[in-house]
């Protein structure tokens, strides 16, 4: 997929899990990576090191995507270093699973601030700073299709992300920018497995056609395609990456 050669890709929440896998996958296809992180610099540095050890080019930049000023600084620093940003991948997010009646105001606000406002902030910045002909890939969830109890607030945030994706795709098309969202199913990451029993994990894994959890590489391969020039006629779409779960 040589159409990724020298493309500059900003991945939010890329210090570990799906974000790190996406970054490494795209670097393997020749992209230059901006690894955004909010918490662990050491994990972000490890992702950068892994990319560089394989002959790639990457830097790590800290920013809380829920804060507009930090997002502006993130874009400006990335452009100052690489000269432009071609692809934005909104991967940063949090998931709190509680029954609606047990969800606190803090739970609600925290998820909307990061999952929705964070995506809004980066897309607003990308509206003027992403290169012409660029690509935006947002992250939703298959839970917007299956609606499992205890995911209500999380699903609400991701439904908002999907709607932002659809509308912004029409707004950004005049600059040749594509905007899509991927909907991963249960994926073997710390975000997904934390707080779940093995029985719960096995039950969720059994809901797809292949009777296993998705792996981060399964998601990264789809993102690599959407980031490539081969996918330039796909925009405004929400794409399930879930092994036929939904």
What are the boundaries of each domain within the chain? 2-230
Give the CATH number of domain 2-230; options: 3.40.50.720, 3.30.70.60, 1.10.10.410, 3.40.50.300.
Answer: 3.40.50.720
Distance between CA atoms of residues 121 and 230, nearest Å: 27
- Predicted pLDDT at 3: 72
Q: How many residues does the chain have?
A: 246
Q: Which residues pair with 238 in a beta bridge?
A: 181
**Percent of the chain as helix, strand, coil, to the nearest 5:** 50, 15, 35
Tell me the pLDDT of the chain (246 aa) as tens digits.
457 999 999 999 999 999 999 999 999 999 999 999 998 899 999 999 999 999 999 999 999 999 999 999 999 999 999 999 999 999 999 999 999 999 999 999 999 999 999 999 999 999 999 999 999 999 999 999 998 899 999 999 999 999 999 999 999 999 999 999 999 999 998 878 888 899 989 998 999 999 999 998 999 999 999 999 999 999 999 999 999 999
- Predicted pLDDT at 246: 93
Which residue in this structure is represented by tokens 């969202």? Answer: 181
Q: With contact defined as beta carbons under 8 Å apart, do 239 and 12 qualify?
A: no
Distance between CA atoms of residues 229 and 33, nearest Å: 17
**Residue 151 designated active-site:** no
H or E segment and range at residue 106: helix 105-111
Q: What is this structure's pTM?
A: 0.95
What is the number of alpha carbons within 13 Å of residue 28 lying toward its C-beta? Answer: 14
Q: Which of 75, 82, 151, 154 is catalytic?
A: 154
- Predicted pLDDT at 194: 83
- Predicted pLDDT at 65: 98
């Amino acid at each position: 997929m040589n159409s990724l050669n020298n493309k500059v890709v900003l991945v939010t929440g890329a210090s570990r899990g799906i974000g790190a896998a996406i970054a490494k996958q795209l670097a393997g296809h020749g992209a230059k990576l901006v690894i955004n992180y909010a918490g662990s610099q050491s994990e972000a540095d490890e992702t950068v090191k892994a990319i560089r050890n394989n002959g790639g080019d990457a830097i790590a930049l800290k920013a809380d995507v829920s804060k507009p000023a930090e997002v502006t600084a993130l874009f400006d620093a990335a452009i100052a270093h690489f000269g432009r940003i071609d692809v934005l991948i909104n991967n940063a997010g949090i998931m709190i699973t509680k029954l609606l009646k047990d969800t606190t105001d803090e739970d609600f606000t925290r998820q909307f601030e990061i999952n929705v406002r964070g995506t809004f902030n980066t897309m607003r910045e990308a509206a003027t700073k992403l290169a012409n002909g660029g690509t935006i890939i947002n992250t939703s969830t298959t839970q917007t299709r299956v609606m499992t109890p205890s995911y209500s607030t999380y699903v609400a945030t991701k439904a908002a992300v999907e709607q932002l994706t659809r509308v912004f795709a029409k707004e950004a098309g005049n600059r040749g920018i594509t905007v899509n969202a991927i909907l991963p199913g249960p994926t073997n990451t710390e975000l997904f497995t934390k707080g779940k029993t093995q029985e719960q994990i096995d039950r969720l894994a059994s809901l797809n056609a292949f009777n296993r959890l998705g792996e981060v590489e399964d998601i990264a391969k789809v993102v690599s395609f959407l980031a490539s020039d081969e996918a330039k006629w796909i925009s405004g779409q929400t794409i399930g990456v879930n092994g036929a779960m939904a």
